[in-house]
């Protein structure tokens, strides 16, 4: 015997299958966006850590240049100071 589904059942199954596929796709997109957000946060944290790690070196250059200028009074000794100002992270 041949089993036949009615038109209503066939259309209902097609609509249900389309809904299931749409929900699965939405879940995948949501999880991907969440992973992208986490990655973006980590990337920004890496930039901040990199900028913070440059801070002591730049400050030391400024201190060295300023101290050299105070001791000698020579403008050429301010070069490390100027380099330290340029290297400071903004």
Average pLDDT over residues 56-77: 88
Angle, in degrees to the nearest 10, between helices 79-87 and 7-72: 170
29 CB-side CA count, 13 A: 6
CA neighbor of 68 nearest in space, from 83, 55, 53: 83
Q: What is the pLDDT of residue 47?
A: 67
Whose structure tokens read 């749409």? Answer: 22
Between 78 and 53, the more confident residue is: 78
CA dist., res. 30 & res. 37, Å (int): 11
- Dump pLDDT digits (tens) for 6-51: 888 889 999 999 999 999 999 999 888 888 888 877 776 766 677 7
Taking CA atoms, 5 is separated from 14, 15, 19, 20, 26, in Å, by 12, 15, 20, 20, 30
């Amino acid at each position: 015997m041949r089993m036949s589904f009615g038109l209503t059942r066939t259309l209902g199954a097609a609509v249900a299958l389309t809904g299931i596929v749409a929900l699965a796709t939405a879940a995948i997109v949501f999880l991907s966006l969440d992973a992208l957000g986490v990655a973006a946060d980590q990337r920004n944290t890496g930039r901040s850590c990199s900028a913070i790690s440059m801070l002591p070196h730049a400050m030391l250059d400024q201190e060295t240049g300023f101290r050299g200028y105070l001791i000698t009074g020579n403008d050429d000794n301010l070069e490390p100071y100027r380099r330290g100002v340029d290297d400071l992270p903004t």
